[in-house]
Amino acid sequence: YCLWAKCLLKGQSVNNAWKSSISILMQLYKNSVNEQQELNHIIDSTHEKKISGSGYVVDCLHSARFALQQDNYEDVIKTAIALGQDTDTTACVAGGLAGIVFGYEGIPQIWLQQLRGKEILKPLLTQLEEA
């Protein structure tokens, strides 16, 4: 997730950032046969055929990638939720990455207006942004 987010922050597309993240992980595990085999199993495209919305980390990342094929923030979140099962986890992961892709301005205004606790969150986000 973090590598994927980092690549998105550098301006890569969703799918290119995914591929770059995998390449980085393959390099990190190049001397570890067991870990590389596990990584190959995790990134195996058969997972993509079984998009389920499960909270299991591997399924969640594949589900987020599926949801991120949408053209706007709202549709990413709605797609993640429509997958069912562990919807809050899938939507959280997809939403975090969609925030990078579409920016704050991409979040529907009606959602932002109904957000609770923003008076607590806003100063913290300002501090984070300035750090």
Q: Please tell me whether 44 is known to bind a ligand.
A: no
Q: Determine contact, residues 67/18, Cβ cutoff 8 Å.
A: no
Q: Please tell me whether 88 is known to bind a ligand.
A: yes
Q: What is the widest separation between alpha-carbon atoms in the chain?
A: 50
Q: Please tell me whether 75 is known to bind a ligand.
A: no
Q: What are phi and psi of 59, to 5 degrees?
A: -60, -40
Q: Which parts are annotated binding residues? A: 86, 88-89
**Residues contributing to the annotated binding site for Mg(2+):** 86, 88-89
